[in-house]
Amino acid sequence: MYIIINSSHLPLQQRRLIIHNNHCHLLYFIILIFLFFNNFILLCNAQQHDTYLTHFEDPSKGLTIFDSYTYRDGTILLQLAHFNEDESCIDPNLNLDIVFPNGAIKPLNVSSYQIPIYNYCMLDDVFINSIINEDTILITYFYGDNAATTIHMGMIIDWDGNWLQNIELGIGIGKINININDDSGFMWTRQVNDTTIAWSQFIPSPSKPTEIKKIGSGFISISPLSIITSFQMFTSSDGGNGFTLVTKIQKSTDYYITDPIWEVHAIFLD
């Protein structure tokens, strides 16, 4: 597991980025980060395969980590960003780096003219960057006038930062789930309303892995007596796609005299 510590609250001259490869339990890490963040030290039980990679960025650029994604071989895709004064926007450029498991860092020069400028101020949902396979990287952004009609877009680039294609992922602000099997591509999902989730699946073309194609889409709906309170996607070890839904039966009749009933569903897509 790679843990990236963003040291943006530290004085400029100390600002740096630590990437730590280890096998500690996640919970253990969260505690450590809280305890040691101020001292800017990260400790963990020494393990045989621990590696530290320390990379210094020019402090005058004022960069912090905006997004990170770890590919299954340990390669990390990082997006660094410089925030404006009130932290409502980042500077309008992509600033992507690939960090290889051997510590080599490759900055990508990605042409981003097709990304509307307001994306750099939609800080919560935009730029869910992911590595799809050994040929392609997905950068997501939005195209449209308002949240209801906005098109969630995917820009596909190669590992050198060259633009390959744009794809429409779906309408509205969705989530991305990359399958553990490269051939199974990725899913885009969005909760449409209280009872429905929309999904679309994209895979690399079997004959041309640099080309990403949409191979299916649909809805998952539950009984109108319930509401979906949260959902997550997961992939099975054989590359299947599934959802877990947490739903709550609404207390709509006198029959329910106690608290509403909560249910958890696990649904697999074929």
Ligand X SMILES: *[C@@H]1O[C@H](CO)[C@@H](O)[C@H](O)[C@H]1NC(C)=O
Alpha helices by DSSP H, the chain: 26-36
Nearest Cα neighbor of 221 from 231, 211, 210, 213 is 231
Structure tokens at 25: 């339990």
Q: How far is the CB of 193 from ligand X (least distance, A)?
A: 4
Residue 178 vs 245, nearer CB to ligand X: 245
Cα–Cα distance between 144 and 170 in angstroms, integer? 12
Residue 92 vs 239, nearer CB to ligand X: 92
Q: How far is the CB of 2 from ligand X (least distance, A)?
A: 26
Which residues have C-beta within 8 Å of that of residue 144, sequence separation ≥ 6? 150, 151
Residue 162 vs 165, nearer CB to ligand X: 162
Residue 106: Cβ within 10 Å count: 13
Interface residue with ligand X among 5, 18, 105, 192 (CB under 6 A) is 192
Residue 219 vs 256, nearer CB to ligand X: 219
Q: In the window 82-121, what residues touch ligand X (CB under 6 A)? A: 109, 111
Cα–Cα distance between 126 and 138 in angstroms, integer? 12
Interface residue with ligand X among 93, 181, 195, 217 (CB under 6 A) is 195
Q: How far is the CB of 176 from ligand X (least distance, A)?
A: 20
Cα–Cα distance between 134 and 149 in angstroms, integer? 33
Residue 24 vs 192, nearer CB to ligand X: 192
Q: How many CA atoms lie within 13 A of 239 on its CB side?
A: 8
Select from 73-81, 123-131, 181-189, 190-198 the region that touches ligand X (CB under 6 A): 190-198
Coarse DSSP helix, strand, coil percentages of the chain, rounded to the nearest 5 percent: 10, 45, 45
Cα–Cα distance between 122 and 124 in angstroms, integer? 6
Taking CB under 6 A as the rule, does residue 196 contact ligand X?
yes
Sole residue written with tokens 């709509």: 252
Q: In the window 119-178, what residues touch ligand X (CB under 6 A)? A: none
Residue 219 vs 268, nearer CB to ligand X: 219
Q: How far is the CB of 247 from ligand X (least distance, A)?
A: 14
Q: In the window 204-233, what residues touch ligand X (CB under 6 A)? A: 219
Q: How far is the CB of 144 from ligand X (least distance, A)?
A: 18
CB 152 within 8 A of CB 142: yes
Q: How far is the CB of 94 from ligand X (least distance, A)?
A: 11
Binding site for ligand X (CB under 6 A): 109, 111, 192-193, 195-196, 219
